[in-house]
Amino acid sequence: MYVMSKIKEKSTNNQNRKFLSNCDMTYAVEVIGGRWKILILVNLANGPLRYSELKRKIEKVTERMLTLQLREMESDGIVKRTVFAEVPPRVEYEITPIGEKLVPICLQLSDWGTLHRETTKNSL
């Protein structure tokens, strides 16, 4: 039987873990981290969308991954999920006010990505 040893309080690994967990920038990256979250956020920037509409706009995402990413974003308070009492049931996703503040940041990140891609492609 393998028994894990106690984490050493003064170890570099433990100190780094504590530092990163208290770093606001790292926290923000963890919240928006995920292959599809930024695309989901930008697609919801123009208003609420149903699940199927989101899936159509982000063609390459699997249904499972879209569901997982939306659940995480809802849990983090970035996206609001509204279920309408209709038959068949209708579900819409929309950005929360705190999520709206991320949209310009994501668009700036996209601009940086374009610049970086062009710069590194030309330097090779």
29 pLDDT band, cuts 50/70/90, is confident
Listed by start position, the domains of the chain span 36-123
Could you name the CATH architecture of 36-123?
Orthogonal Bundle (1.10)
CA–CA distance, 94 with 47 (Å, rounded to integer) = 6
* Residue 9's pLDDT band (cuts 50, 70, 90): confident
Average confidence (pLDDT) over 97-116:
94
What's the one-letter identity of residue 17? R
pTM score, two decimals?
Answer: 0.78
Among 53, 41, 59, which residue's Cα sits nearest to residue 96? 41
